[in-house]
Amino acid sequence: MGAKKLELALTLCEETLKISKEKLGPDHPLTLNFMNNLALFHSQNGKLDLAIPLAYFEAGKLDMAMPVSKETPKLQKAKLGPEHRSTLGSMATLGLLLLKMKNSAEAEPILRECLAGREKVMPDDFMTFNTQSQLGGALFGQQKFDEAEPLLLAGYEGMKQRQKSTTKNERTRLAEAAERLLQLYETLDKKEETAKWQEEIERLKQTASPSVEP
């Protein structure tokens, strides 16, 4: 996304959030969703990236992204409950941002709580297995390789089985999960597994359809 379009998107998100706070209140479910949307903003450039750009993150405004990402789940827990899908989605956003910032230790408990909630209310959902993979990534980032590996493998397999090929968001998440496994086996110097996941990542790139919108 171009810099001008990104700035416009940020401005629109901020104005929408401001109006929602004034008209609906700071803890209204829609306001809380707007807060999360401001933190999590998907790129629409059609690329099979291994990272999902966050609006503030991509703009280099990490100091603004983190307070919004941390505040939203707290407000949603109080208003909607800890197992509401919107609450769990905001927790996932926070966990993802922390992973992008290489803060694996702080991401781990958030992703564990998010995974437990998603396994309870949406056990067969693609995003539940995505959270499982992200938790594996948080453990990998702390060099807890034995704990990370089964989560990364199970997360990827669960996502792959539930992937809808026309959904760009899911293709991106699946590519992220494959990249985590590649990084794990490269770190462990397991050449056979490394080669396997290099091939899998290439397969994902070849089967992606950037022209198909989500």
Q: How many CB atoms lie within 10 A of CB 212?
A: 12
What is the Cα–Cα distance from 173 to 168, expressed in whole angstroms? 9
Domains, the chain, ranges and CATH?
Answer: 3-207 (1.25.40.10)
Q: Helix 85-100 vs helix 62-80: angle between axes, to the nearest 10 degrees?
A: 160
pLDDT (tens, 9 = 90+) of the chain, 214 residues, equals 444 554 555 565 666 656 666 666 666 665 556 555 555 543 333 322 222 334 555 555 555 667 777 887 888 788 789 998 888 988 998 898 889 889 999 999 999 999 999 999 999 999 999 999 999 999 999 999 999 999 999 999 999 999 876 577 788 899 999 999 999 999 999 999 999 999 999 999 887 754 433 3
Residue type, 103: N
pTM to 2 decimals?
0.72
Phi/psi for 190 (5° steps) reads -100, 95
